[in-house]
Amino acid sequence: MTRSKARGYHHGDLREALVASGRKLVEEKGIRGFTLRECARRAEVSHAAPAHHFASMDDLLAELVRRGFAELTASMTTEAERVAEDEPAARLVGLGVGYMAFAAANPTLFQLMFSREANHIEAKAGDEGAASLRRLLAAVLDDVLLEASDDVRQQAADFAWATMHGFIILVLEGEIGGRDSSRALKARGLAALAAMAETVARFARP
Amino acid sequence: MTRSKARGYHHGDLREALVASGRKLVEEKGIRGFTLRECARRAEVSHAAPAHHFASMDDLLAELVRRGFAELTASMTTEAERVAEDEPAARLVGLGVGYMAFAAANPTLFQLMFSREANHIEAKAGDEGAASLRRLLAAVLDDVLLEASDDVRQQAADFAWATMHGFIILVLEGEIGGRDSSRALKARGLAALAAMAETVARFARP
DNA sequence: TCGCAATCTTGACGTTGGAAAGAGGCCAAA
DNA sequence: TTTGGCCTCTTTCCAACGTCAAGATTGCGA
């Protein structure tokens, strides 16, 4: 789709171009620095062109969030599937690795996905994505917990999600491992995930 | 300080008034909806008046973050001190309760304190606050871990902070306990904190 | 081939953060 | 007490923003 300089009046695939430039822009300028006009500029299009593809700026951000959740769950699935089926605890750790890998690769988008703004703005945008993430987590947890009560299942899910989310957020924020090497940071992350998985496993046999 | 309508050309304590209205505004409108001019409006002052007290909008936000961290650690300390000295694990849970209580009472400010924007914008603003929070956590953890290696101490601190942070963030985001009652939510939070404290205690004896 | 609807541009409006310049008031030095 | 200086606040202006309305251009189906 390498549009050369010679494009006509019509862009061809402006919607995708806006999503692409928007995604870069979010990471470059941050959530508050994000600008619809700059997005249009990078797609080499007038400032009002986006209106025909996204009703508002929040609409574009909502699309970014939607795709972010899809990629996040994909990343989790990929990592979990590198582990044998009969090692459920390790699969749980894999889920966490995929979670953190996506967040580390897309720090600002990740924050946007879980930001208070997003929740209000996109209404149902992130909800579907979050729901499928929840299902994925529940499925893997099922193999760890076997026959546990619903209460325990819920507690385990809360705990697992909270640990992996909290850890990577604090890392992205510089609160954890401020000047650690990338290697050392990964080790710290794995340690946290291992402790989490062990605790979850303990939920199964009280 | 109840300024009546009859104030002269000078405000008297504009700085504090801006901090106060700014804080309300953040919670009302969210981070992206925050506006310096609206802040000034609420302090009944012209839109350029804030410039003499805060170099920029980010400067005002930085001050909000600074005070937020002070209050956060205060809330944690208060809750921890309700627990007897000789129950270190319970004190750790108390820390988490204080943490979550502040976050629940100031959801948007809390997000701002840990937002990617904040980190870049305020540079050192949140750093001091975060450092004292880290010290507080380390002190309480010391009583749980007794003579553990520095590595274990670090892992325990990572884990404890990650769990309480992740849980409350996911709650504020509606990802955990979307339609639970406040009571039920607190129970889920306490369960997560208890699991965290137990895990940390296990760090002490491997 | 023609006409229409979708796409894109241009221009405008109200709002924002910030800079510049002037008005007003407080306080310390004389 | 007067006066000068400095801090505070206001007014005015600017570029940039999101959004809306109108017009230009184009591709596509009838």
Q: Give the integer Cα–Cα distance in Å for B56 and B50.
A: 8
CB-based contacts of A20: which residues, under 8 Å, 6+ apart? none
Of all residues in chain A, the one with the smallest CA distance to B163 is: A163
- Min mean pLDDT across A17-21, A72-76, B121-125 is at B121-125
Both structure tokens of B167: 């849980």
Contact B16, B93 (CB under 8 A): no
Asked whether residue A85 carries a pLDDT value surpassing 50, the answer given is yes
From the list A117, A161, A175, the residue facing B31 with the nearest CB is A117
pLDDT at A148: 87
Total length of chain A: 206
Per the CB < 8 Å rule, is A161 touching B170?
A: yes
CB atoms within 10 A of CB B47: 13
**Percent of chain B at pLDDT exceeding 70:** 92
Of all residues in chain A, the one with the smallest CA distance to B176 is: A158
pLDDT at A147: 86
Nucleic strand D near CB of residue A35 (< 7 Å): yes
DSSP labels, B169-190: HHHHTTSSSTT--HHHHHHHHH
What one-letter code names the amino acid at B121? I
Quote the crossing angle between the two packed helices A14-33 and B14-33, to the nearest 10°. 160
N- to C-terminal Cα separation, chain A: 58
Q: Give the integer Cα–Cα distance in Å for B109 and A81.
A: 38
**Percent of chain B at pLDDT exceeding 90:** 83
* A154 reaches B (C-beta below 8 A): yes
Both structure tokens of B120: 């870049």
pLDDT at A5: 44
Q: Could you tell me which residue, B121 or A174, shows the higher pLDDT? A: A174
> Residue A89: pLDDT band by 50, 70, 90 thresholds?
very high
Residue-wise pLDDT tens digits, B8-36: 778 889 999 999 999 999 999 999 999 99
Residue-wise pLDDT tens digits, B44-92: 999 999 999 999 999 999 999 999 999 999 999 999 999 998 999 999 9
Look-up of token digits 């884990």: B159
* A180 reaches B (C-beta below 8 A): no
pLDDT at B1: 35
Q: What angle do CA B153, A198, A99 make, to 5 degrees?
A: 85
pLDDT at A122: 65
Residue-wise pLDDT tens digits, A113-124: 999 877 666 665
Residue-averaged pLDDT of chain A? 92
**Length B122 CA → C22 C1' (Å):** 32
Q: Could you tell me which residue, A7 or B206, shows the higher pLDDT? A: A7
Asked whether residue B120 carries a pLDDT value surpassing 60, the answer given is yes
> Residue A125: pLDDT band by 50, 70, 90 thresholds?
low
**Length A58 CA → D26 C1' (Å):** 29
* A31 reaches B (C-beta below 8 A): yes
Q: Is B83 left (phi over 0), alpha (psi -120 to 50) or beta?
A: beta
Mean pLDDT within A135-141: 97
pLDDT at B121: 61
Helices (H), ranges, A146-181? 150-172
Q: Give the integer Cα–Cα distance in Å for A14 and A35.
A: 16
Residue B28 vs residues A30, A32, A190: alpha-carbon distances, Å = 21, 17, 38
Domains of chain B as residue ranges with CATH: 8-54 (1.10.10), 57-204 (1.10.357.10)
N- to C-terminal Cα separation, chain B: 58
Residue-wise pLDDT tens digits, B137-174: 999 999 999 888 999 999 999 999 999 999 999 999 99
CB atoms within 10 A of CB B184: 11
* A173 reaches B (C-beta below 8 A): yes
Which of chain D's bases lie under 7 Å from a protein CB? 7-12, 16-22, 25-27
Contact B54, B18 (CB under 8 A): yes
